[in-house]
Amino acid sequence: MNRNAGAEQFHIGAIELPDEDILIQPERDRPLAVRLLLLVVGLGLFVTALGVMKEGATALVPRLEGSIFTDNAWSTLGLGWLGACLVMSGSPIAASSLTLLDGGAIDRDQAFTMLLGSRLGAAFVVLVVGAVYAVRNQKQTGRRGPVSIGILSLLTTAAIYVPAATIGYLLLRRGTFDGLNVGVSPSLTSATDALFGWSVDLLVDVLPSWSLFPAGLVILLVGFSVFDRVLPAVGSHRLEQREGSWYTRTWPMFLVGCAVTLLTLSVAVSLSVLVPLVAKGHLRRSNVLPYIAGANITTLADTLVAAILIGDPDAVRVVLVITVTVTIWTLVLLAFAYPILRKVILGVARRILASPARLAGFAGCLLVVPMALIAM
C-alpha cells in the first residue's frame, strides 16, 4: 500500500491499480530531473538485460537443444504462455524469445510461437487483478464485474492473436518478409555500447554462464518497473461525466486502447484500468472489447524496440510479422464482424461466470493448456 496524491493504491507485481478517478495523471511527486534520471537508469537496465540475455542464450543452447521446452514450435508456444503467467507480464518473455533466437537456442518459427504464447499469457495478470479487486471490494462492487474484465481480455486476445498468428506463421515460413531488413543505426549501437556495454561485460565475467539468462530476465523485470515510474500513471475515470458518449463507440475506444498502452508500454496496466471502471459501473462490459483490441496491438511496441536493439534481422521480422497480421486482422474484425465477435465473447464470458466451478475450471485451463503444449 502507498498513497499518491491522496489516492489509495495496491500493487500486484508491477501492476498498480488506483482508486483515484483519473485517466492519465503525471507523477506529481517526482521532479523532472528525477524522472530523467529514472529514464536513463531504465534504459541502462533494458540494454544491459538484453545484452546479458544474449550471452546467456548462447550458453543455454546445449541445455535447451532438443529439450522438452524447445523441441518444437508447440513447446515454445506453451513456454511463452506459461512464462508470461508466472512472471505476470508478457513483455519480458517476448524479449526472451528474441534473445533465445539470436543466441541460437531456438529457431525463427519457435521464436514466433513463443512470442505468441507471451501475448496469450499476458492477459492472465488482468484476471488476477480482477480477482483481488473483487475480494477487496466485494461489498461495494460484487465479484462478477472485476473478474469479467480478465475473462474478456483473455478471450479477446485469443480471438485476435490465434487466427492472425496462424496467418503470420505461414507467411513467416514462406519467407514473405525475408527481404525486409530493419536494423539499428550504427551510431545508436555505439552510443549504447559506450554507455552500458561495461555493465554487460562485468556481469558476463562475474556470473556463471548458466545464470546469465535468468539474471538478464530479472534485470529486464526491474527495468520495466523503473520505466513504470517514469511513464504517466494510469487510473480510472468517470467516463460518463465527459461530454458525448465516445466510450460507447467502437473506433474511439479502439484508439484509446492503443494510446493508453503505448503510453504505459504495458498491456497488463492498460487493461487493469478497466477493472475499477466496470466494477463501479462507469463503463459497460459490452463496450470494452475495442479498447482491449487496440491495447493488444501497441503492446508490441517495446518488443519491436528490443528486436531492433538486439540487431538480429530475424528477430525484427518475427515481431513485424505478428504486428502486421494482428493489426490487419483486428481492423477487419472491428470493421466487418464486431457485432458477431462481441456477441460470442460476451456469451462465452457469461457462461464462465455462471458458477464458481466454471470460473475455477477456466483459470485452471490457463495453466494446464500451456503445460500440455510443452509436453507435446
**185 falls in which pLDDT band (50, 70, 90)?**
low
Query: How far, in Å, CA of 294 to CA of 111, rounded?
Result: 23
Query: Strand 7-12 relative to strand 15-18: parallel, antiparallel, unpaired?
Result: antiparallel
Residue pLDDT, tens place only, 79-118: 999 988 887 778 888 988 999 998 888 999 999 999 999 9
This prediction has a pTM of 0.77
Handedness of CA 132, 133, 139, 143 (dihedral sign): negative
Residue 268's pLDDT is 72
The average pLDDT across 348-376 equals 90
The pLDDT assigned to 330 comes to 97
**Looking at residues 285-312, what average pLDDT do you find?**
89
Tell me the three cell numbers of residue 142.
460484487
Q: Which residues, 6 or more positions from 205, have their beta carbon under 8 angstroms from its beta carbon?
A: none
Determine contact, residues 293/334, Cβ cutoff 8 Å: yes
CA dihedral 92, 96, 99, 104 (to 10 degrees): 180
Three-class DSSP category at 301: helix
**Quick check: 294 pLDDT over 90?**
yes
Angle at 207 between CA 203 and CA 209, to 5 degrees: 110
**What pLDDT score does 11 carry?**
41
Q: How does pLDDT run across 347-360, given as a tens digit for each residue?
A: 999 999 888 899 88
